[in-house]
Structure 1
Amino acid sequence: MAVEIDGVLKEWGDRMFIVRTRARPAPNTLAGKKKKPKPSGGNKAGAAGAKRSGMSSGSAREAFSRLARKVPEVMVKITQGEKDPVTGKRNVLCKDMKAIKAHMDYISRNGEVPLEDENGQIIQGADAVRSVRDDWKSTGGYAIPLEAGYRREAYSVVLSMPPGTDRKAVLDAARDFAKETFEGHQYVFGRHDDESHPHVHICVRAVGHDLVRLNPRKSDLLQWRQRYAEKLRDHGIEANATSRVLRGKAQKPERQVERHMRKRGVQMRNQQARRNHAAEVPLSADKEHPVEAKLRSSRNRVIAGFGSVAKALAQSANADDRALALGLARHAESMPPAKTMHRLLVEGRGEGRAEQEGRQIARDVSKPGKER
């Protein structure tokens, strides 16, 4: 029985938690030479992918347990430039030394926040930050343009955890993460303590010492999340990194700029346009969007996986396994319906209209002289 349970755990652990990446061609260096492909689980983002080894039954059991217990999720993102209001395209962030200097000033709070580089050296004060920026201009045989650049010359990466997480552990885990992920690149990082959620900013030079440019994709970001969660767990912090599908989230999370504007009572144009479009659609004529069928298909596969794992664990003689089976079943039951934001807005409009009509009927009935 134990062998059968382990087999189910390994099968569904591989399906749900292993990041699948496509093989990529060997990258071109700035000198025109090609490097040999590296495995997708290697240190550098954008390396050509090889098939990752599967999970062990123990690792899969721990991953399912973290998911059922709703362990806090890490956040890893690459900061994007703002959209041009005329063209609608995003501006390139850190495209030259002028922009990189401005970004380093931001993450160091003009020298007040200590930074640390890839060699473990502490950079304290505006003069020390300026020295690092000057060193980046032409290090490694590649000169970053001073102004009028056209492509990203540095990546701004943010690592974050929910409020209440130990801030020192967040910084220590970020140090380990950067050392493994950005090996061969120059970078600096610093922790910001001016918000409730502890977070670390990393500014990493796009071109490495081997003249290969970073090229992170969507799958790399998920691997980065998993790696950072591992580093946090190494420092005693419960952390998880799972996809939205496994957590039952159909909509993308609110972006930081949207959150800040909402708190100020300002609604972004794209949000208003989405609401206007939903308001114009007749409730009886609203057609299903193709994305909704895809969301339901993904949700059904996830539910089937949870069911298979829970069924196997429920037959175990181990009480912890049986408790995990119950936890997975409850997690699956708690998932909200897989709906697009448009569908939620349209249905919310219908519910709001029904609620409004109900209030009006109640007011009419309560008026004197009205027939009951």
Structure 2
Amino acid sequence: MANRGKIDGMLIDWGASLFNQPPTLHTKSPTRNVLTGKLPSVRKGKPSKGGTITNADGVRAKLRAVVKRAPEVMVKISGGGKGMVQIKNHLDYISRNGQIELETQDGEAVKGRRDLELLRDEWKYGGFQVAEESDVKEAFNIVLSMPEGTPAEAVKNAARDFAAREFEGHQYAMALHTYDTDPDSEPAKHPHVHLTVKARGLDGTRLNPRKADLQRWREGFAEALRAHGVEAVATPRQARLKTERGEKKSVQEMRRRGEALHSVGKFPASAERVEKARATETNIRRKYNILSTTLMASPDPSDQALAAELANRLRDGPNITQKPKGRER
């Protein structure tokens, strides 16, 4: 059997490859321009503890989540406000015009029309001012969801912790929507949080999220959920051996309205696309098998047990995980 140090090294390397995350991430604080004294105008995101694989135990935790079919978190950007008119409209929407309580970055509760007006003024005049209309996004609208049955309070607490860590120095407001508390005529059955973040921070840096940032956000939210006692995972789609993509929102809306889909979905995937998907799945399974073999070679009985569970899980078929169903309203 290999020694523990060698086993851990292989887990980190192959785990990083499988879950599409860097094994280490070195960053430095932004420095001011020596001529203007200003900080950089764009921030692509800062690393969070959950956004990178730094130790073998982190890989083991992810593999256990695969074995258990742990619920998959969902984090998405649902748009953004260009100017205070759109920002106010969205705050009205997620608060149901003051019926649902909002919570700010300072932990202050906002409820009722009067509080919403005061919050609007804070966003308009606080920090870097926001015009009524703008050509660029002055806020990002983010949705954090978990499947039906997840404790709503844990989702809210995890969203609060995630936002405090990821958007420190930014003004933001969040609202928890649940089936029982949402006054909407068609409330979603799964708990979710609407999080609206002012794009420009108090130090002048502007959010500019990319695909890698979204995965890091998913990792951060999943980590926060686990800290509140909720099993959650944020594995990339390919690592879940889920080769099919979900329906586009426009198609979901057409189905909801009972409209004919016309040509949607009538054309089969091309042979090239099918072949590429098969090659990707083969490669992913190869990496899982290497990790399973590595764990089996460990002197630790718990590693050997995990290796056997992982091998059995791979034989069961695709790793279909539990994800939120329906629309976030």
Q: Hey, what's the Cα distance between the residues in 2 that align with 1:210 and 1:267?
A: 50
Unmatched tracts of structure 1, length 5 or more: 39-43, 81-92, 279-285, 338-372
Per the alignment, residue 8 of structure 2 pairs with 6
Does 2:157 correspond to 1:164? Answer: no
Does 2:277 correspond to 1:275? Answer: no
Q: Hey, what's the Cα distance between the residues in 2 that align with 1:319 and 1:179?
A: 39
Q: Hey, what's the Cα distance between the residues in 2 that align with 1:12 and 1:136?
A: 45
Does 2:122 correspond to 1:146? Answer: no
Per the alignment, residue 186 of structure 1 pairs with 171
For the 8 Å contact 2:243–2:281, the answer to whether it is kept is: no
Q: TM-score, normalised by structure 2?
A: 0.81
Q: Hey, what's the Cα distance between the residues in 1 that align with 2:26 and 2:284?
A: 22
Q: Hey, what's the Cα distance between the residues in 2 that align with 1:287 and 1:132?
A: 51
**Residue number among 130, 134, 159 corresponding to 1:174 in the alignment:** 159
Q: Hey, what's the Cα distance between the residues in 1 that align with 2:270 and 2:207?
A: 42
The DSSP-based 3-state class of the residue aligned with 1:216 is coil
Q: Hey, what's the Cα distance between the residues in 1 that align with 2:84 and 2:32?
A: 23
1:189 to 1:257, Cα distance in 2 relative to 1, 3 A: farther
Shift of 1:333: 3.3
Q: Hey, what's the Cα distance between the residues in 2 that align with 1:53 and 1:265?
A: 43
1:32 to 1:236, Cα distance in 2 relative to 1, 3 A: same
Deviations 1:282-329 (A, max 9, x none): xxxx9523x444333322221111111112223445553333223322
1:36 to 1:130, Cα distance in 2 relative to 1, 3 A: closer
Q: Hey, what's the Cα distance between the residues in 1 that align with 2:318 and 2:53?
A: 30
1:156 to 1:265, Cα distance in 2 relative to 1, 3 A: same
Per the alignment, residue 333 of structure 1 pairs with 315
The DSSP-based 3-state class of the residue aligned with 2:271 is coil
Does 2:110 correspond to 1:127? Answer: no
For the 8 Å contact 1:8–1:308, the answer to whether it is kept is: no
Deviations 1:264-285 (A, max 9, x none): 32245xxx4343444xxxxxxx
Shift of 1:251: 2.7
Q: Hey, what's the Cα distance between the residues in 2 that align with 1:300 and 1:228?
A: 29
User: Mean alpha-carbon deviation: is it higher for 216-225 or for 121-130?
Assistant: 121-130
The DSSP-based 3-state class of the residue aligned with 1:246 is helix
Amino acid of the residue matched to residue 241 of structure 2? G
Deviations 1:39-67 (A, max 9, x none): xxxxx643599xx8753222211111111
Amino acid of the residue matched to residue 98 of structure 2? G
The DSSP-based 3-state class of the residue aligned with 2:194 is strand
Shift of 1:11: 2.1
Q: Hey, what's the Cα distance between the residues in 2 that align with 1:312 and 1:103?
A: 50
The DSSP-based 3-state class of the residue aligned with 1:191 is strand
Does 2:202 correspond to 1:209? Answer: yes
Q: TM-score, normalised by structure 1?
A: 0.73
- How many residues are paired up? 303
1:236 to 1:173, Cα distance in 2 relative to 1, 3 A: same
1:300 to 1:34, Cα distance in 2 relative to 1, 3 A: farther
**Residue number among 291, 299, 303 corresponding to 2:281 in the alignment:** 299
The structure, 1 or 2, with the larger RCO (C-alpha pairs under 8 Å, 6+ apart) is 2
Which structure has the larger Rg? 1
Shift of 1:116: 0.7
Name whichever structure is richer in helix by fraction: 1
Per the alignment, residue 229 of structure 2 pairs with 236
The DSSP-based 3-state class of the residue aligned with 1:203 is strand
Percent identical = 37
1:164 to 1:66, Cα distance in 2 relative to 1, 3 A: same
Please provide the CA RMSD for this pair: 3.2
Amino acid of the residue matched to residue 293 of structure 2? K
For the 8 Å contact 2:21–2:53, the answer to whether it is kept is: no
Amino acid of the residue matched to residue 280 of structure 2? S
Deviations 1:240-275 (A, max 9, x none): 00000110112332344533432332245xxx4343
1:108 to 1:48, Cα distance in 2 relative to 1, 3 A: closer
Amino acid of the residue matched to residue 303 of structure 1? R
